[in-house]
Amino acid sequence: MAFFKLTDEQLMIQSMVREFSRKVVAATAAERDKSKEFPAENLKQMGELGLMGMMVPVEYGGEGADTISYVLALSEIAYSCASTAVVMSVHNSIVCESILNFGSEAQKKRFLPRMTDAEIIGAFALTEPHAGSDPVSQLTTAVKDGDHYVINGTKRFITTGKNCGLVIVTAKTDEAEKHRGISAFIVEKGTPGLIVGNVEDKMGLRASDTTDLIFEDCRVPAENLLGREGDGFKIAMKGLDGGRIGIAAQSVGVAQAALDNAVKYAKGRDQFGQKISKFQGIRWYIADMATEIEAARQLMFSAAAMKDRGEKYTQQASMAKLFASEMVNRITGKCLQIHGGYGFTKDYVIERLYRDARVFTIYEGTSEIQRVVISNNILKDKRKH
């Protein structure tokens, strides 16, 4: 971390979260992976520690921390449990930030204090069964009816869809428009017409529920419109920019955990009369992996620093997400290889890390979409896919 010199406050936050993560979060991570139990108690304690509203100003109950501090904390949570980290990431990076950036003063005062102490957890509903990488093609609609909007449609693959207290949902309010015809709404759990659908049985991140959310004549007060009509696409894209920095942080945390476990195993495993850490092939694996993790970390810091300075960071966020998510898949694969047959069993944490890492190249914009975003920004044009 030579390029980014961390402040004393940032180092203190990192140290505090590291201790909490490795003592508390790690203790039940393997069991939650088996049982698919939502980490509610962890999140409650994280709210008490200020981790569920890190970048929210103090006046709304948050910590007012910078993005560098946030990604340091998120990486430490991901090191122990990626399921807990993804809930923290969506809640902070997308939901809290979207309300902070686009919400009315009344919305900020109403929702943010309850979110920062983890009384309610936030979810973000953009993806649909036939609209994943192409959100403009979404079919969910919101029709104005007096002082309410009536929302109809189905959202898919919603992180914390079952356990959230509120969800930001996008819907078409003007069928004639594309980007400008999409609006965003804050919908509280328990609102009539909001139905939790299928809960996915996933390969990884098993303690983080991923569900369908179904809206059937769901009446939402007009005061819950986030921003103005037509702002939904802009809100979603800005939220995803921040979310992609969060995924880079998760990737760095999981990759560091994988490397640390592989190093420990290699230094303890005897073959051919010596520790396997003495073999050149293993040592080169370790050198390459450490280098890749550091490169991803610096990309993460660069995007976070640009965000903190108020600069446009879309391209840098996509670069960090692209490289880090691809990196963690390479790293966990190599670390499992170092473990040999033992890595293929649930007796070793690398098996869980390997499964958890796989989705990082997919959600909040696939690697292919990141390349589209990056190339669009470099070439200053857009092409039809």
Taking the C-alpha atoms of residue 207 and residue 222, their distance in angstroms, rounded to an integer, is 34
Question: Choosing from 63, 76, 97, 364, which is the catalytic residue?
Answer: 364
Check: CB of residue 122 under 8 Å from CB of residue 90.
yes
Check: CB of residue 97 under 8 Å from CB of residue 54.
no
Backbone φ, ψ for residue 211 (5° rounding): -135, 170
C-alpha distances in angstroms, 118 versus 112, 282, 289, 354, 385?
A: 10, 43, 35, 29, 40
C-alpha R_g of the chain: 21
Check: CB of residue 297 under 8 Å from CB of residue 61.
no
- Phi-psi category of 61—alpha, beta or left, where left has phi over 0 and alpha has psi -120 to 50? left
Q: CA neighbours within 13 Å on the CB side: how many for 208?
A: 25
Taking the C-alpha atoms of residue 85 and residue 255, their distance in angstroms, rounded to an integer, is 13
- Residues in Cβ contact with 178 at an 8 Å cutoff, skipping those fewer than 6 apart: 136
Check: CB of residue 102 under 8 Å from CB of residue 112.
no
Residue 364 is among the residues annotated as catalytic for this protein: yes
Could you tell me how far CA 350 lies from the centroid of its own chain?
21
Exposure b/e, 201-213, CB count within 10 A at least 16 = b: ebebbbbbbbbbb
Strand ranges for 136-181 from DSSP E: 141-145, 148-159, 166-172
Taking the C-alpha atoms of residue 89 and residue 205, their distance in angstroms, rounded to an integer, is 13
- Indicate the pairing of strand 166-172 with strand 122-125: parallel
Q: Residue 297: which of 54, 14, 26, 8 has the closest Cα?
A: 14
Unique residue bearing structure tokens 């102490």: 117
SS3 160: coil
User: Known catalytic residues?
Assistant: 364
